[in-house]
């Protein structure tokens, strides 16, 4: 079942990479007592994700924080090393937390997995954005195939 407005997000573990090591982030800790915008992309360094989706959240980070967002997090079914390199390449600084869902377990738990095997990309995430307040989805913005509208930073900003 796909996550819906009013649903509590499932518990899960995601990976992050720092200069020192690979770390693990609990989604329970990530969402507890905070307002989080979690956006997901089909793949790091892929055209729309790299040229529009991630840059939009970097550009809108201050505006999102001004509306009460504590954390902006980017999720992809990639490994933590790729997410770290993508964040560095994009110049995220402290604006966006890069989260790796290497096996796609979390996007599957959300009901937002994407079968991209026909494109040689394996199992991935659909393109989406969630606004999460204290672990509960208050906005669920899932793109239709190939589109980039409702999960863009500007669109999410207008909903908050």
Asked if the model's pLDDT at residue 12 lies above 90, the reply is yes
> Is 17 a domain residue?
no
pLDDT in tens, 18-36: 778 899 999 999 999 999 9
Give 31's contacts (C-beta < 8 A, 6+ positions apart): 9, 132, 134, 135
Query: Is residue 49 annotated as part of the catalytic site, yes or no?
Result: yes
Task: Show the domain range for 127.
Answer: 27-159
pLDDT in tens, 67-107: 999 999 999 999 999 999 999 999 998 899 999 999 999 99
> Is 134 a domain residue?
yes
Distance CA 22, CA 79 (A): 10
> Is 22 a domain residue?
no
pLDDT for the residue 31: 98
Residue 47 maps to which CATH number? 3.40.30.10
pTM of the model: 0.94
Q: Which of 49, 74, 99, 152 is catalytic?
A: 49
> Is 151 a domain residue?
yes
| Number of domain units in the chain | 1
Asked if the model's pLDDT at residue 5 lies above 70, the reply is yes
> Is 70 a domain residue?
yes
pLDDT in tens, 104-149: 999 999 999 987 777 767 688 899 999 999 999 999 999 998 899 9
> Is 124 a domain residue?
yes
The whole-number average pLDDT for the span 145-156 is 94
Among positive and negative, which fits the CA dihedral 48, 36, 30, 4?
negative
> Is 4 a domain residue?
no
């Amino acid at each position: 079942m796909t996550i819906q407005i009013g649903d509590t997000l499932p518990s899960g573990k995601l990976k992050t990479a720092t200069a020192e090591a690979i770390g693990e982030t609990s989604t329970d800790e990530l969402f507890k007592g905070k307002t989080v915008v979690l956006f997901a992309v089909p793949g790091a360094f892929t055209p729309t994700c790299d040229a529009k989706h991630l840059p939009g959240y970097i550009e809108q980070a201050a505006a999102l924080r001004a509306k009460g967002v504590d954390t902006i997090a980017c999720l992809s079914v990639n490994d933590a090393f790729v997410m770290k390199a993508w964040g560095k390449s994009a110049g995220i600084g402290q604006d966006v937390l890069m989260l790796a869902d290497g096996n796609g377990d979390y996007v599957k738990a959300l009901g937002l997995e994407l079968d991209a095997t026909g494109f040689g990309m394996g199992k991935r995430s659909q393109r989406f954005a969630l606004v999460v307040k204290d672990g509960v989805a208050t906005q669920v913005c899932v793109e239709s195939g190939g589109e980039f509208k409702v999960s863009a930073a500007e669109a999410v900003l207008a909903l908050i």
